[in-house]
Amino acid sequence: MDAGQIYELLQPKLNEIRNYLIRLGASPSDAEDILQETVYKAFLYIDSIENGKFSAWLYKVAVNRYYDLCRRKKWITVPIDTMELPDSKLPEDSLLQQEKKEEVEVVLSQLAPLHKQLLIMKYEMELPYKEIAKLLGMRMEHVKAALYQARQQFKKRYGSEVR
């Protein structure tokens, strides 16, 4: 199997990671750069990556690279979600939905990075606890406990943000 065939097999997972990086706050071009570096590292260290943990390894390398980029640039940005809104009959509905998204983004940006990651993985990416635990290298019980804390923090901050 050559590099092109491997890349084709990885493409769905890479798209998922790219979207996740953008959701964390990376620009699309930064996300692409991070993915290229991640794939390069994967080819370099392919023999040392444990079987069955390749996906988690890719996530970990990409997210760590994103945080390195944030530290180097000394910024953390959270873009307003660029996903298109579903068709709405009234323009006011679209505006209200966009305002709600912006409020959610503000609250997410105030949370600890782990809490933000967990909420995005669970409620936007709709990953099961087991998959989240595998991707983050955590025990499932710890994921559940941290996700509970993340939800509590989100509720507390969202309530004060909306008022």
When computed from its CA atoms, the radius of gyration of the chain, rounded to whole angstroms, is 17
Token pair, residue 85, equals: 């809104």
> How far apart, in whole angstroms, are the C-alpha atoms of residue 105 and residue 80?
7
Q: pLDDT tens digit string along 6-64?
A: 667 788 888 989 998 888 888 899 999 999 998 888 888 888 888 778 888 888 889 88
Degrees (nearest 5) of the Cα angle 19, 151, 105? Answer: 45
Query: What is the architecture of the domain spanning 91-162?
Result: Orthogonal Bundle (1.10)
pLDDT value for 92: 62
Q: Which residues contact 79 (CB under 8 A, 6 or more apart)?
A: 22, 25, 27, 105
Contact 128, 73 (CB under 8 A): no
Q: CATH 1.10.1740 in the chain: give the residue spans.
A: 3-73
How far is residue 20's CA from residue 52's CA, in Å, rounded to a whole number?
Answer: 21
- Residues 79-120 have pLDDT tens digits of 444 444 444 455 566 666 777 778 888 888 888 888 988 988
Q: Which CATH architecture describes the domain 3-73?
A: Orthogonal Bundle (1.10)
Residue 56: what pLDDT?
85
- Checking if the pLDDT of 129 tops 50, the result is yes
Structure confidence at residue 1 (pLDDT) = 56
CATH 1.10.10.10 range(s) for the chain read: 91-162
Cβ–Cβ < 8 Å for 56, 135: yes
Q: Of 68, 70, 82, 61, nearest to 19 (Cα)?
A: 82
